[in-house]
Structure 1
């Protein structure tokens, strides 16, 4: 991630867009949220305020069974007062490679372990107010074991065909952003338009 005080491209063609922090403030520090409120200098010299949430990043996993079905979850999201259908996902722990996070979250939330993994892409899901990014990982060669859910984590695992998921999306019933983008990646890969570099689980070292 580029340093906001020395952003990439500041001296180049994007310099007229770059904002530089002149004052940094912490507005809230909870068990999960770290909310900042900075004063920034705009390219024309004026000052403005920017409020945002610091986040260590997360992963989302697209688990594909041998018969082509997908492993998804239904989970109650308290801020929305709604149960959402999502691909398995979770926050990256401090100093944890994202590949290991993907493997850990898949096993903990669904019980599935995968023999092959592929990294697809990184997305910024709330760029206007958060540093959060989500890395999309694909998993196949699945075997089912025991789940290890965190305290207070209530998740139903469900198996779905891609066509079922697409139908939900077309009707506006699939609203989770990371799951919609992951579905797009799945369709692009299965159609041969986008490529995935599949590797054995043990081949993903600490660099990713």
Structure 2
């Protein structure tokens, strides 16, 4: 497809909203798009089999959600560096073992955000460095309880659900060990 024409509608410190006109065989298509620099999701696994979730107050939905730690990429910061930074800032943990699990688009019908998912193991406790105004608390639960929380509707955050279920499938041998990211 040819590159779309673009007009800036709104610019903030975290994202831009643009109107894109894409030339298509049936005529031009106009869409408003949130242009986002991308983000990371971290799956922190404790040595005793628990997972470190967080309770995170989300203004956009007007309540506190149970999620995995996550954060927005800073400028030209590589996703792996963002993951390390966000894990420490939000949970206080650092990790000595890291692997990238997958990448996915958050909501491609309206948003350009690509989420990079990392698994963090061999966690070392430390101090948090939360941003001013962040209301976050750690919630460490056994793996099977995290999955049950999805089933009971207690975890409603899509990135958390996708990550937990993908890792569970991988661990149970129902998914190849390496997801092809060349798409």
TM-score, with length taken from structure 2: 0.92
| SS in structure 1 of the partner of residue 111 of structure 2 | coil
Cα offset, 1:195, TM superposition: 5.2
Q: Deviations over 1:70-111 (max 9, x none)?
A: 001001111110110000000011111111111110011111
TM-align CA RMSD: 1.5
Q: How does 1:82-97 map to 2 (within 5 A)?
A: 82-97=63-78
1:22-72 CA distances to partner (integer Å, 9 max, x unpaired)? Answer: x3100111232310012221223x122111001010000001000010001
Structure 2: runs of 5 or more not aligned? 179-183
The answer to whether structure 1 residue 102 and structure 2 residue 103 are counterparts is: no
How far did residue 173 of structure 1 move?
2.3
8 Å Cα contact 2:57/2:134 also seen in 1: no
1:37 equivalent in alignment to 2:25: no
Relative to 1, partners in 2 of residues 1:196 and 1:106: Cα closer, same or farther, differing over 3 Å?
A: farther
Give unmatched runs, 5+ long, in structure 1: 6-19, 198-208
Where does residue 37 of structure 2 map in the other structure?
Answer: 56
The structure with more radius of gyration? 1
Q: Give the counterpart of 2:163 among 182, 190, 193.
A: 182
The aligned residue for residue 129 of structure 2 is 148
Q: Evaluate the alpha carbon distance shift between residue 100 and residue 128 of structure 1 in structure 2; reply closer, same or farther with a 3 A threshold.
A: same
SS of corresponding position for 1:24? strand
Q: Decide which of 129, 132, 137 is 2:110's aligned counterpart.
A: 129
Q: CA deviation at 1:193?
A: 2.8
After superposing on structure 2, the runs of 4+ consecutive aligned residues of structure 1 that deviate more than 3 Å are 194-197
**How many residue pairs were aligned?**
178
User: Would you say 1:191 and 2:148 are equivalent positions?
Assistant: no
- Match status 1:163 vs 2:144: yes
Report the alpha carbon displacement of residue 196 of structure 1 after superposing the two structures with TM.
Answer: 5.1
Q: Does 1:78 align with 2:59?
A: yes
SS in 1 for 2:170: helix
By how many angstroms is 1:114 displaced?
Answer: 0.6
Change in 2 beyond 3 A, CA 1:196/1:143: farther
Deviation, structure 1 residue 137 = 0.3
Confirm or deny: 8 A CA contact 1:119 1:196 kept in the other structure. Answer: no
TM-score (norm 1): 0.81
2:51, 2:146 within 8 Å by CA — same for their partners in 1? Answer: no
